[in-house]
Amino acid sequence: MARIVMLIHEEDERFGASFPDFPGATTVAGDLDTLYRKASEMLAFHIDGLVEDEEPIPAMRSIDEWRRDPAFRAEAETAMIGLIEVDLPGRAVRVNVSLEEALLRRIDRAAEAAGESRSGFLARAAKARLTA
């Protein structure tokens, strides 16, 4: 789990979030509670996209590191600073699961048709279900 610095701007009774470590990753909501929920989901989706596209995940800086950055300090003067916790991708771990034979055959056929390994197919399916 990593803590990601988030800038929160308020305009016209709406809140917007941006992440200095992840340029282009933004979201908007009508209240702060919703903003934090949406920001957490959006950032996890953004990081998954980086991994899927084989792009590097930026090095995350702490609030203290960001505070020493003059451009960040200037932007933060008109914003609130928040933190979002996200799970960063880690190393693959082998697991042992039991599946009904016919289901396993269907999974293997679907994985092959998608050009994926069984593990990749199951991981993608689990991510889709967890974000639904």
Cα torsion angle, 112, 114, 120, 124, sign: negative
Which residues of the chain are under the pLDDT cut of 50? none
pLDDT, residue 127, reads 81
The beta strand positions in 12-130, using DSSP E, are 14-18, 26-29, 80-86
Give the residues across from 18 on adjacent strands: 7, 26
Q: Where are the domains of the chain?
A: 2-86, 101-131
CATH classification number, 2-86, choose in 3.30.43.10, 3.30.830.10, 3.30.160.250, 3.40.50.360? 3.30.160.250
What's the rounded Cα separation, in Å, for the pair 84 and 41? 10
pLDDT, residue 123, reads 87
Stated pTM of the model = 0.67
Q: Which two tokens stand for residue 45?
A: 């989706």
Q: Which two tokens stand for residue 104?
A: 């396993």
Give the distance, in angstroms, between the CA of residue 97 and the centroid of all CA atoms in the same chain: 26
